[in-house]
Structures are given as structure tokens and as C-alpha cells.
């Protein structure tokens, strides 16, 4: 299947269905055109699960911010964090100085928050069950910066790893390679392209950031490559570079079915005798 955006350069003026079809035929005849593999109904259902989970989490974040903001207007302050919401609601319910209407509305928001928690837990349970039935996802979860969600996302969003010629091409598809600008024989590299799937790219970068935090806190020993990277690059740039490397490793693991080699990114901290 060819992406619709790939046909746009071949669409003539006065866009219509006939010229869209003509542009698609023209695009498919190009030797450098890349194609998107079709997903099965089961794979699409898995992506729907990820999208539903993400939407529920975003809604919970918005609701928790609203609860905290409304409480602050009444002088009831709470620290940030999801674990602070339920104690905050309990304080509000016990505060008889607040107007009855406000307490009733906070109770309504609290009930909605509790329902969201239940739905998110159900989505997490469904995602865990999906992972148990996919060996590739279980293997990917052993990579230090790839968690349960990231491993499932990689498998769901990459139904055919063989469609990519190399790990670098896969990382470029995710949007983790720098933009190139060539002029007068000079090649300049800019920021990452941010092409491809934003959720997958963000998950890989967040996972890489967590790994770097562990390394900088002394709770993990980096590989020589990662140690050299952290010595010459700021943590945020190092996180993107690490996410790029992790994407290439994940692609190779999905393509070959091999297990993760722990010496590639992190090594266990040697216990002092």
C-alpha cells in the first residue's frame, strides 16, 4: 500500500478523484518509491488498544490538572503527581469550610477520576495479555530502554521489519536521524527529522532518557560507546542518539529473532568486594 502523501507531488491542478488515481499510478511506477505493508485485523486491533490507552491517560492528566487547579482557587494546595490526587480529594471532602456546591463538584470529578483509573488498568491488563502472546515483544522488553509499552508499540507499528533495508533506514522512518542539507558539495546535518510515528519516537526517547539518568546516578555502568557519548554530549542530545541506537537494535532483533545482548548498551555494576 502506498501512502497518500507520497502521491501529492504527482497530482496535477484541479485535484479530483480521477487525478488522484492517476497520481497513484504514477507514484507506483517510480523505482525509489517505498510502500507501507498492510496490517491484519488483529494488528489493527492492537494499535487501537494503544490508541485507547493513550487517550485515557491524556484524559486522566487533563482531569488531574483540573482538580488541582480548582482546588488551588479555594486555597487547597497539593503537589504535582497522580498519587496526590486521591489524598487531595479526601481533604476536600472533609473540609466543611468549602461551599456545598464546590464539594459536590469535586465529588463528581473524583468519581470520574476513579472511573478513568479502572479503564486504564483494564487497558494495561489487555496490553500485558497481548505481550504474553508475542515472543518478539517479550524479547524487546529486555532492552534496558524499552519497557512493556515500548516493546508492544514497536511490534504493532512494524508488522514487516524486512521492509527496511537497514537499521538506519528504520531509525529514519521513526524520525531519529538528523535532517540533511547539501549545497555546493557541503553536507550539513541539522536536528532530527521528527518524521514518522510521534508516539513511537517519544517512547524511545523517554526510555533512553531514563537509562541515562540511571547511568548518571551510578546505578548502572554504561557500555564504552555510551560512556564516550555522555562525555562529549549534553544529556538530551545523548538521549536522542541512544534512542537512535536502540531503534536499530530493535529492528535487528525483530528481523532476525535474536535475543538482546546486554553488553550493547549497559553492563551490570560490579559489586565491590
What digits encode the pLDDT tens for the residues 78-100?
999 999 999 999 999 999 999 99
Q: What is the pLDDT of residue 14?
A: 74
Q: What is the pLDDT of residue 126?
A: 95
Q: What is the pLDDT of residue 221?
A: 83
Q: What is the pLDDT of residue 264?
A: 66
User: pLDDT band for position 71 (50/70/90)?
Assistant: very high
Pairing assessment for the beta strands 186-192 and 178-183 based on DSSP bridges: antiparallel
Q: Is 222 helix (H, G, I), strand (E, B) or coil?
A: strand
For 185: left if phi > 0, alpha if psi spans -120 to 50, otherwise beta; the answer is left
Q: What percent of the chain has pLDDT over 70?
A: 86
Q: How much is the mean pLDDT over the chain?
A: 86
Cβ proximity of 164 and 170 under 8 Å: yes
Residues 6 or more apart from 64 whose CB is under 8 A from it?
Answer: 82, 85, 113
Cβ proximity of 33 and 6 under 8 Å: yes
225 vs 89, more confident: 89
Q: Residue 268: is its pLDDT beyond 60?
A: no
User: pLDDT band for position 185 (50/70/90)?
Assistant: low
C-alpha cell at 47: 494499535
Q: Mean of the pLDDT values across residues 20-47?
A: 78
Sign of CA dihedral 199, 204, 208, 210: positive
Which class for 91: exposed (0-12), middle (13-18), buried (19 or more C-beta within 10 A)? Answer: middle
What is d(CA 102, CA 268) in angstroms, rounded to the nearest whole number? 53
1: nearest Cα among 242, 239, 163:
163
Amino acid at each position: 500500500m502506498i501512502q497518500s502523501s507520497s502521491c501529492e507531488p504527482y497530482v496535477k491542478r484541479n485535484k479530483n478523484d480521477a487525478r488522484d488515481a492517476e497520481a497513484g499510478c504514477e507514484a507506483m511506477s517510480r523505482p525509489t518509491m517505498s510502500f507501507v505493508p498492510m496490517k491484519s485485523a488483529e494488528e489493527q486491533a492492537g494499535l487501537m488498544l494503544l490508541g485507547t490507552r493513550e487517550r485515557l491517560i491524556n484524559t486522566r492528566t487533563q482531569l488531574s490538572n483540573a482538580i488541582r487547579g480548582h482546588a488551588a482557587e479555594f486555597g487547597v494546595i497539593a503537589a504535582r503527581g497522580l498519587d496526590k490526587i486521591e489524598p487531595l480529594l479526601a481533604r476536600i471532602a472533609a473540609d466543611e469550610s468549602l461551599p456545598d456546591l464546590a464539594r459536590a463538584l469535586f465529588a463528581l470529578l473524583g468519581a470520574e477520576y476513579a472511573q478513568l483509573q479502572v479503564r486504564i488498568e483494564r487497558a494495561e491488563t489487555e496490553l500485558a495479555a497481548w505481550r504474553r502472546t508475542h515472543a518478539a515483544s517479550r524479547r524487546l522488553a529486555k532492552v534496558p530502554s524499552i519497557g512493556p509499552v515500548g516493546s508492544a508499540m514497536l511490534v504493532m507499528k512494524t508488522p514487516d521489519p524486512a521492509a527496511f533495508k537497514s537499521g538506519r533506514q528504520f531509525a529514519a522512518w521513526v524520525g531519529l536521524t538528523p535532517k540533511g542539507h547539501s549545497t555546493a558539495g557541503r553536507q550539513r546535518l541539522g536536528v532530527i527529522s521528527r518524521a514518522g510515528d510521534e508516539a513511537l519516537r517519544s517512547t524511545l526517547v523517554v526510555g533512553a532518557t531514563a537509562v541515562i539518568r540511571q547511568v548518571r546516578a551510578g546505578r548502572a555502568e554504561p557500555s564504552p560507546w555510551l560512556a564516550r557519548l555522555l562525555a562529549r554530549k549534553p544529556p538530551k542530545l545523548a538521549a536522542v542518539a541512544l534512542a537512535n541506537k536502540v531503534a536499530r537494535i530493535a529492528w535487528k532483533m525483530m528481523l532476525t529473532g535474536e535475543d538482546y545482548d546486554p553488553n550493547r548498551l549497559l553492563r551490570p555494576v560490579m559489586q565491590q568486594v
